[in-house]
Amino acid sequence: MPQYLAAQYGDRRRYLVKALREISHRTTRLVEGMRKRDLEAPIPDDEWNVAQIVGFLRDSEREDLLALRIMTRVDGDPIEERRAIHSPQEERFRARDVDELLWEFLTLREETVWLLADAGSAWNHVGVHPFRGEVTVFTWVQEMNERDLDCMWRIQRARDAFRPPGAPMMAGAPDV
């Protein structure tokens, strides 16, 4: 029985690492398939535009990588509050910034993926968050995955909303 449990949790970790990599690449393809003018256009029923979402992803990844480095290095070290949620309004990301933001996001994401792939038993480590208390690496990564999925689907909705009538879907894009 213990071998089954170890395999079950090990598979979930590999799944999360794989999801982090794949969602980041899918998000990049969605953004790269959009017209520049649509990157700053307001998304229907959303508070941010695509440029702001990409900036948020880059800033979030920077914060998450720092927190994960702290947590995997020393179990129980303090970690900081996530502040990236405020950056889209503070930074005023523009369409001209998107290529650089995507590159930085993907570069940081690859560092995150390598860190997690080599983390081993550090997946069980915790960081001490100022408001939440102890947070495990595993929980932190699950939250990253959920955030990425939310951002990807918001960008997908924007791309679909801005696609000219009758224009073909991007290759491999879901028809949702």
Cβ-defined contacts of 9-14 (< 8 Å, 24+) = 12/138, 13/116, 13/123, 13/138, 13/141
- Summarize pLDDT for 33-45 with one digit per residue, the tens: 899 999 999 999 9
pLDDT higher for 10 or 37?
A: 37
pLDDT band with cut points at 50, 70 and 90 for residue 90: confident
Q: What percent of the chain has pLDDT over 90?
A: 74
CB contact burial 44-56 (16+ within 10 A = b; e otherwise): eeeebbbbbbbbb
pLDDT of residue 92: 81
Question: Is the pLDDT assigned to residue 6 strictly greater than 70?
Answer: no
The answer, yes or no, to whether residue 174 has pLDDT greater than 90, is no
pLDDT computed for residue 170 by the predictor: 53
Residues 102-131 have pLDDT tens digits of 999 999 999 999 999 999 999 999 999 999
What does the angle CA 93 – CA 152 – CA 48 come to, to the nearest 5 degrees? Answer: 35
Task: Give dist(CA 87, CA 80) in Å, integer.
Answer: 16
pLDDT value, residue 11: 73
Q: Is the pLDDT of residue 49 over 90?
A: yes
Q: DSSP class of residue 41?
A: S
Report the pLDDT averaged over residues 83-101.
86
Q: What is the pLDDT of residue 87?
A: 79
Confidence check: pLDDT of 71 > 50: yes
| Predicted pLDDT at 66 | 97
Q: Give the least confident one: 1-10, 58-67, 85-94, 141-150.
A: 1-10
